[in-house]
Chain A
Amino acid sequence: MDFDHTEERRMLSDTIGKFITKNYPIEKRVIAANSDLGFSKENWLKFHELGVSHALFSEEFNGFGGHGFDIAVVFEALGKGLVVEPIFGSLIAGDILSHSEEHSDILQDIILGTKRVAFAHFEEQSGYEGNNIVTKASDGKISGVKSMVQFANGVDNLIVSATDCDELKLYLVNAKADGINISDYQTVDGGRAAEITLNNVIGKELRINAEEVLVSTLGKGILALSSEALGIMEHIKELTIKYLQTRSQFGLQLGKFQALQHRVAQVLLEIEQARSAIINASTSLQDTGDQREKSLSACKMTIGRVGQLVAEEAIQMHGGIGMTWEYELGHYAKRLIMIDHELGDEDYHIAKFSSYYMS
């Protein structure tokens, strides 16, 4: 048994951490996250130079990672810095394309950061399940509406799901193709999303088993989001401890009040539980079948519950300052809570986990 990350992974984590400390101040992050693009193009390229994207893919695709622990390490490090650049989108799109024999050129561009591809799968009625897609394809022409597509503005391509004769398929689409309308807006946690209307849009069908690939890829997505949340929680923990050590009321440091000591202790132990959930999920990621799905649901439901606790307790223990836009905590708290709104919330994953009891 060994719960330490490999030296390579620790080095990568350090490299990302140092870059963030030096070049990614929260003030600039907030400005970029609330800009028209929703992130900084400059930082997008810099993160790729550091190798964040290479770490998400195996050597077969010119990467140097692709294991569950690689995803966990990268996204935890990004979460600590509240990185808004859509590296998550590259993981999803790249992972889908990696199952296809074709399109290795686009995959390489994704890994290098020279191309961005958005994942246009979920629809208004599809909820977290994504299992009743009504977008239709016929003769390679796609029509339908996709919702909450992350960072769709300015992408080069879209990966679009659609059913053709009741069979779910995935298509690679040029984002500037005729018949596409991208209507984008801000999200609560900074960054952008979009509603995308496709009207007889020409797409290239990916020759993969779409259902299977989606399960595999979205599982990686759950691990990535959960790890990002863990990084955020670690940072919130640091902020809160520092605040309890420095802020005084009634002539005492806040940290001297037992009422707060017990609450921060609960937060600390729950974050350790969340870290364990991520270790379990990272380990199971290479499996297939129920064990993998259960482990991922266990992870996401833990993150949902603990994330809410950490965000709410940190704001409460900070008091008024925790409510302000100017202080960094609120931005971290918003992203942490919003992660529960992606790829299934706590309740969704409790239900999914418990559905295996009878199987």
Chain B
Amino acid sequence: MDVNFTKKQEEFRSEVREFLTSVIPIKLADKIEHNKPLSKEDMQNWHNILNKKGWLASSWPQKYDGTGWGVVEQFIFEDELAAANAPRIVPFGLRMLAPVLMKFGTKDQCDYWLPRILNGSDWWCQGYSEPGAGSDLASLKTSAIKDGDHYIVNGQKTWTTLAQHANMIFNLVRTSNEGKPQQGISFLMIDMSSPGIEVRPIKTIDGGHEINEVWFTNVRVPIENLVGEENKGWTYAKYLLSHERNNIATVGISKKKLQKLKDIAKIEKRNGRPLIKDPLFAARLAKLEVNLLNMETTNLRVLSEAEKGGEPGAESSMLKIIGSEICQELDHLQRRAAGRYGRIFRPEALEDGFNGEEIGPFFAHTASSTYFNNRKVSIYGGSNEIQKNIITKMIVRL
């Protein structure tokens, strides 16, 4: 038993750190440091920087111009991305669609679509949830009916993250009503500029715009945009979830957030002393930190198993639950640390070039908004209740 990274892995970490800190634009890192919103250009620029180095596809095999890194290297890379205040890699094309294409797509599909993900030609979004199909995703109704060499797609997707930036969407669609609901689902790639597609913004409780409704009215999709076999889409969607285990807990981001929170708690005062010396706040912080330390080791144990070629079981679901709870507790404590200023709401103060008055500590401007926004992390990607169902189904086997 040895919980330490190997010397080679530590060298890799140094190399990654050196590179990231040398290339990350100061303005971009400042936005991440201060929780400011990112523009589409910000995200694209960062992708381009990583792509130039050949590190954008950190989880892809070299065969497709990925890094070919092992899962532990990928974990270290994520750690360092967060530590450097780098933006998160937009996952839809790189981490959600790509593994499905590699596993179930044709060679032509891989040859055409994967390079476009890398060079930024396509921005993908994910069309899974529907108004009547959230946790019960398999009950989705958006239909795709074959008409010659096209599918005709009708229906509505919802909670579609960053659809406003996307030119492509990968959709779960219903191609059959026979058998169990899971058996009639197909996986279809759709051009967002097709006639009959409408994107409607959904404003979230923090006042932001990340998610959307996407409506399909008689949208014609070439049949070559089907991934894998017709009516097997559910298998592909499930494959995706179980292979998200590498980074689903977002350990690196939580470690960075914890460090920021401690820095804040050393400065903010309660009862005339630093917040970090307040026994109640310190107890909350300690419980959170220990949870995070434990999670990191849990995650590394899972990765170590994966390196040995173990088939993924319920680990993704476990890590998703723990990771989301830690993320939400970090945001809760940051909100609490803001004290009376936790109520401040000045989105204008987060914009580029704002030169208005400073009011209260800056982190307070985003503390509560972030707390409310991240209530989503225990809801999206299969709510934590669904994850618990998966765990008991796989382990208790009732």
Is the pair A341, B271 in contact by a Cβ cutoff of 8 Å?
no
Q: Which residues of B contact A348 (CB under 8 A)?
A: 270
Q: In the complex, which residue of chain B has the Cβ closest to the Cβ of A327?
A: B205
Is the pair A319, B383 in contact by a Cβ cutoff of 8 Å?
yes
Cα separation A43 to B372 with both chains bound (whole Å): 28
Cβ contact of B339, chosen from A127, A193, A260, cutoff 8 A = A127
Cβ contact of A338, chosen from B205, B281, B343, B385, cutoff 8 A = B343
Residue B342 lies at the interface, judged by CB distance under 8 Å to chain A = yes
Residue A351 lies at the interface, judged by CB distance under 8 Å to chain B = yes
Q: Which residues of A contact B158 (CB under 8 A)?
A: 320
Residue B103 lies at the interface, judged by CB distance under 8 Å to chain A = no
Is the pair A148, B205 in contact by a Cβ cutoff of 8 Å?
no
Contact flags A296-330 to B (C-beta < 8 A → 1, else 0): 00000000000010001001100110111110001
Residue A132 lies at the interface, judged by CB distance under 8 Å to chain B = yes
Cα separation A257 to B136 with both chains bound (whole Å): 13
Contact flags B366-398 to A (C-beta < 8 A → 1, else 0): 001101100110111001110010000000000
Residue A122 lies at the interface, judged by CB distance under 8 Å to chain B = yes
Question: What is the distance, in angstroms, from B211's C-beta to the closest C-beta of chain A?
Answer: 8
Cβ contact of A325, chosen from B205, B359, B388, cutoff 8 A = B205
Question: What is the distance, in angstroms, from B161's C-beta to the closest C-beta of chain A?
Answer: 11
Give the contact stretch, choosing among A45-53, A110-118, A182-190, A225-233: A182-190
Given contacts A127-B270, A148-B340, contact A338 B372 (CB under 8 A): no
Q: Which residues of A contact B338 (CB under 8 A)?
A: 341
Given contacts A323-B379, A345-B339, A350-B280, contact A125 B203 (CB under 8 A): no
Q: In the complex, which residue of chain B has the Cβ closest to the Cβ of A126?
A: B340
Residues of A in contact (CB 8 Å), total 47
Contact flags A271-312 to B (C-beta < 8 A → 1, else 0): 000000000000000000000000000000000000010001
> In the complex, how many residue pairs between chain A and chain B have their CB atoms under 8 Å apart?
138
Residue B353 lies at the interface, judged by CB distance under 8 Å to chain A = no
Residue A334 lies at the interface, judged by CB distance under 8 Å to chain B = yes
Is the pair B205, A330 in contact by a Cβ cutoff of 8 Å?
yes
Question: What is the distance, in angstroms, from B271's C-beta to the closest C-beta of chain A?
Answer: 6
Cα separation A195 to B364 with both chains bound (whole Å): 15
Given contacts A341-B338, A351-B280, contact A334 B372 (CB under 8 A): yes
Residue B176 lies at the interface, judged by CB distance under 8 Å to chain A = no
Q: Please name 4 further chain A to chain B contacts, defined as beta carbons within 8 Å, in addition to the given A127-B271, A337-B335, sorted by A numbering.
A: A185-B359, A193-B343, A338-B342, A341-B339
8 A-B pairs with least C-beta separation: A330-B205, A249-B136, A325-B203, A347-B280, A341-B342, A186-B345, A187-B343, A188-B345
Query: Taking beta carbons and an 8 Å cutoff, which residues of B are in contact with A?
Result: 129, 134-136, 139, 158-159, 202-205, 207, 211, 269-272, 278-281, 284, 332, 335-336, 338-346, 357, 359-360, 368-369, 371-372, 375-376, 378-380, 383-385, 388
